[in-house]
Amino acid sequence: MHTRTLGQDLEVSAIGLGCMGMSQSYGPNPGDRDDMIGVLRGAVDRGITFFDTAEVYGPYVNEELVGEALASVRDQVVFATKFGWRIENSKSVGLDSRPEQIKHVADASLRRLRTDTIDLFYQHRVDPDVPIEDVAGTVGELVQAGKVRHFGLSEAGAATIRRAHAVHPVTAVQSEYSLWTRDPEPEVLPTLAELGIGFVPFSPLGKGFLTGTVDTTTAFTAGDIRTTIPRFKQDNLAANQTLVDHVATLAHTKNATPGQVALAWLLAQHPSIVPIPGTRRIARVEENAAATQLALSADERTGLDALAALVGVHGDRYNEMHMSLVDK
């Protein structure tokens, strides 16, 4: 697979692998832990070098899984992980980006990932109680100490990105972005282009919706995050179906899958965009990776944009509590 560059010099495969679902958020896992190790190693065999995890996924067990699975190929892969939560009794109970907490998480993540440096260390959510300058300065100290290579932010607004970047260069911002989530377009993406910062869209497949495999008949199990998300409620799902039907029709004409069209659309938005679709199945890793081979014409992209604008999206992308954590 070809590579892309985040920021000035973080080279990663053009599509990464989101590892969160292996430990939480999408209901019962189709495989056991050994199977997930197989998926992670299989992804490397298929050219993926960019792996996305976080302290809070599990919590902790997702980093441990990634660290164990990829220890033998550590020099070939890029580890992105995230700090910024207060975790008590295995539950995140709020935000915590105090400098001492960031340093503590870095050391613990290094141990769990079985590595001596974190390639990309994101603040998971902007903490209103800690000035972003202090966060950037602390990550800068970790970079100086060799424990971290690159600084990232997640779900940060344009003003916060500028303030952070002025203290320590931001290599990548990770936020939700896809055909049905356009929030970063008006302000964040132009700011990143101006400052030379990479962008990593999370939930690039719309948490499965844009693959055409989720509809009003899908029964989500308890523990599946989609049971809490307004746009996955029955009436909203039905209204949102028009967009995915169009994606599927276009995919059919191109001998591709709807998910591949959704990923190819993202890749075409800007050369420093690197989507991280999440899956626990090697066949889907392969399918998603092959989206790097799919070219959409300008007319096809315009058609997708026009339809998305026409039908709109029904329902918020998160519940109220999670929406309140998004930096404006």
Residues of this chain that interact with ligand NAP (CB under 6 A) are 18-21, 26, 30, 52, 124, 154-155, 174, 202-208, 211, 213, 259, 276-281, 284, 287-288
CB of 140 to ligand NAP, least distance (A): 21
Count of beta carbons in the 10 Å neighbourhood of residue 157: 19
Dihedral angle computed from the Cα positions of residues 28, 32, 33 and 36, in that order, rounded to the nearest 10 degrees: -80
Which residue's structure tokens are 């949102």? 240
CB of 96 to ligand NAP, least distance (A): 15
67: amino acid identity, one letter: G
Chain position whose Cβ is nearest to ligand NAP = 18
Burial status of residue 87 (CB atoms within 10 A of its CB: 0-12, 13-18, 19 or more):
middle
Could you list the beta-strand ranges (E) of 89-223. Answer: 91-95, 118-123, 148-154, 170-176, 198-202
Instruction: Kindly tell me the sign of the dihedral angle through the C-alpha atoms of 276, 279, 282, 285.
Output: negative
Q: Which of 26, 57, 122, 177 is catalytic?
A: 57
Please compute, for residue 118, the number of CA atoms within 13 A of its CA located in the half-sphere on the CB side: 36
Q: Which is nearer to ligand NAP, 97 or 203 (CB)?
A: 203
CB of 57 to ligand NAP, least distance (A): 7
Q: Which is nearer to ligand NAP, 23 or 302 (CB)?
A: 23
Rounded distance between C-alpha atoms, residue 210 and residue 177, angstroms: 12
**β partners of residue 170:** 151
Closest CA to 213 of 177, 241, 234: 241
CB of 62 to ligand NAP, least distance (A): 8
Q: Which is nearer to ligand NAP, 101 or 278 (CB)?
A: 278
The phi and psi torsions of 327 (rounded to 5 degrees) equal -75, 135
Pairing of strands 148-154, 118-123: parallel
Q: Which is nearer to ligand NAP, 4 or 207 (CB)?
A: 207
CB of 134 to ligand NAP, least distance (A): 21
**β partners of residue 176:** 202
Cβ 21 vs Cβ 36: under 8 Å: no
Pairing of strands 85-88, 91-95: antiparallel
Q: Which is nearer to ligand NAP, 222 or 298 (CB)?
A: 222
177 as an active site residue: the answer is no
The phi and psi torsions of 245 (rounded to 5 degrees) equal -65, -40
Q: Which is nearer to ligand NAP, 255 or 298 (CB)?
A: 255
CB of 93 to ligand NAP, least distance (A): 17
Active site residues: 57
